[in-house]
Structure 1
């Protein structure tokens, strides 16, 4: 086994760092600060960060094939022109729930954006339950609501054969799977593949590796766990020097680096003194596996 190394690579802190995406074309890491209302692009080669401010909390940002990004911000899907820093509404969702906001989202292998909502938090992980839903933004810019009654819509990814969709509603403390129809974007046959243990924290963002196994960031658990969704076994635990680990993605030239975002929102002064890197972004190397390229929104 190669030795695992955890390194703090982005020292600029995020209130709620989230949704890391590796942009292969520019070799940059795209991520958001949800409550900080910012989209960041970090270039590891130059260590420069470009930042853009959003109007409302931004749950996710994904690359768009035609250029720029699509974001889930407040209760709208919107297009971002990075050059002009302009944000244009694509469509609004949850019209009857003004106290909702988008959370995590990701693009499926056919180019659709799947993203979910949740109620605005009173404080981290304390919110009105069952207010969220899971949506797809199709490439024709139409929206489909898959299901509602979600507490905190979170991590998501697809199996390597595109037939299974993995999903986390954080406060169920489970990772679930659905059968996925890549032609229609339809979901069916919901089932549990992993239940977190008490000390593991709250399941948050996740990604899949080239072996078809999942890496789940555990909020309040200070770790990323590596699970086999076929057997329900936890294969590995990677500890981080911060408790509020929020999401992860593979990146780097051959997708062998695991980038992990974190948060400091809700921590008091003594917590922050013990965890000076809370809110930073970390790079984990030596895992012995790698990720797969990011999908871009095709609409």
Structure 2
């Protein structure tokens, strides 16, 4: 097995770097800075970062089949024209909860967008609990609420047979699985796959590898866990030089690199001195597994 190497590749200095998505065509990494209200696009070939301002907290950005991106800004799902930076609202969620905002979002294998909400934070990872929900936005822009009483809606991904949806509500300290009907988007039979242990932090963003393993970034844990969802066993811990690891995705020319985002917001001054790379994005190589291409929104 080749040795695992962690390197800082994108010096974004993000307040809350989140939601990395690998774009195969241009070999670029798309990610957001929630608190910095920006969508970033890092070109791995030129090491150049392009950014778009969102004007409000942005929970996620994902590619759109017809071009550009779709992002969760405030409580709106918006279309983003990357060339002009223009944004147009496609759908709204949580109409009755003005203090909520969209957090993590991901597209399922059919092109349906799933996105969750949470109360706006009092302090990093401190929210009024149970205020959020998990929604889907269909290609025809129909919005459906699937789960409610969510505290911090976070990581999500699907098994390769598309029958299982993995989901994280960070404050529950668990990674959950639900039966998923990819045709209708209906989900049910929620159960716990893994419960984080003392010192592992809060489960945050998540991705699956091609073999079905879960990779979970642990906020305040400074690590990414590899978990076997069938047995609930933690297979591996990858340690990073920053404590507020937020999310991860596979990328690179053959999807064998794991990209990990991080946050700097909420660190004490002493912690900032100890973690000069906080808020940057890291690449982990030598893991010996590969990821899968991301899905694009069909709407």
> 2:197 maps to what in 1?
197
> 2:23 maps to what in 1?
23
**Alpha-carbon displacement from aligned partner over 1:87-120 (angstroms, at most 9, x marks no partner):** 0001111011001000001000000010100000
**Alpha-carbon displacement from aligned partner over 1:19-42 (angstroms, at most 9, x marks no partner):** 000011111000000010000000
> 1:88 maps to what in 2?
88
Calculate the TM-score normalised by the size of structure 1. 0.99
- Looking at structure 1, the residues matched to 21 and 96 of structure 2 have their Cα atoms a distance apart, in angstroms, of 30
> 1:150 maps to what in 2?
150
**Alpha-carbon displacement from aligned partner over 1:152-189 (angstroms, at most 9, x marks no partner):** 00000000100000000000000000000010011011
Instruction: Map 1:233-244; keep pairs closer than 5 Å.
Output: 233-244=233-244
- Looking at structure 2, the residues matched to 22 and 149 of structure 1 have their Cα atoms a distance apart, in angstroms, of 31
Calculate the TM-score normalised by the size of structure 2. 0.99
> 2:112 maps to what in 1?
112
CA RMSD of aligned residues (A): 0.5
Q: 5+ unaligned residues in a row in structure 1: which ranges?
A: none
> 2:245 maps to what in 1?
245
Q: CA deviation at 1:132?
A: 0.3
Runs (4+) of structure 1 moved beyond 6 Å? none
- Looking at structure 2, the residues matched to 275 and 220 of structure 1 have their Cα atoms a distance apart, in angstroms, of 12
> 1:79 maps to what in 2?
79
- Looking at structure 2, the residues matched to 12 and 21 of structure 1 have their Cα atoms a distance apart, in angstroms, of 15
Instruction: Map 1:1-80; keep pairs closer than 5 Å.
Output: 1-80=1-80
Pairs aligned (count): 299
**Alpha-carbon displacement from aligned partner over 1:208-237 (angstroms, at most 9, x marks no partner):** 000001000000000000000000000000
> 1:224 maps to what in 2?
224
Q: CA deviation at 1:12?
A: 2.3
Q: CA deviation at 1:55?
A: 1.7
Q: 5+ unaligned residues in a row in structure 2: which ranges?
A: none
Instruction: Map 1:259-298; keep pairs closer than 5 Å.
Output: 259-298=259-298
